[in-house]
Amino acid sequence: MNNSKTAIFKNFVEKAKSLGAWNAKIIKAKTIKTAAWTKIKCKYGCGGYNSSHCCPPNTPSYKETQEIIDCFTSAILIHSKSHGLPKKIVVKLEREIFLSGYYKAFGFGCGPCRLCDECDPNGCRHTEEARPSMEACGIDVYETARKNGFPIEVVRNRNSEVNFYALVLIE
């Protein structure tokens, strides 16, 4: 990455932090891990399964997601301590990155979409704000976070530390 691109990307990291991210950093897209098992955790274990256009089975397979990731060299991995915040950060950051000339920018949030009480089966009413979660698209959030030096552990009880992650692909 050249120096001017590095400086621009650092500004995006600072923007993520100003929007409320606990931490954020530029990562290499090749460190984003996809796996077949991730979506089965959505199907068996998450009440959001098949409840919106942003949840499986309405999201890309892990193979399709990998093909998308392969179109990018960089991403911003966003770390938050609040569940609802990462998706809001992603939407604002993705837009800023796009308007800065990185037209391929695309973001992934975390967890099920909660923009509507009930998803419209005919089409999303919030296409500008709705983003699928990393895990809903087959991204292994645990391995991706760990590969990039971020903390993440299984939340065992209400007193456990929580870590939420979101991602914006940049090219």
Q: Give tens-digit pLDDT for 68-92.
A: 999 999 999 999 998 888 999 999 9
CA distance 126 to 142: 28
Sign of CA dihedral 76, 86, 111, 124: negative
CA distance 81 to 21: 8
Among the listed residues 143, 166, 160, the one whose alpha carbon sits nearest the alpha carbon of residue 80? 166
- The residues, any chain, with a CB within 8 Å of residue 89's CB and separated by 6 or more, are 16, 19, 20, 21, 78, 80, 166
pLDDT higher than threshold 80 for residue 58: yes
pLDDT higher than threshold 80 for residue 50: yes
Amino acid occupying residue 131: R
| Residue ranges of domains in the chain | 3-170
Q: Give tens-digit pLDDT for 122-162.
A: 888 998 999 999 999 999 999 999 999 999 999 999 888 89
**Can you give the pTM of this predicted structure?**
0.93
pLDDT higher than threshold 90 for residue 48: no
CA distance 44 to 166: 22
Three-state SS at 64: helix
* pLDDT in the model for residue 66: 98
Q: Give tens-digit pLDDT for 26-37.
A: 999 999 999 999
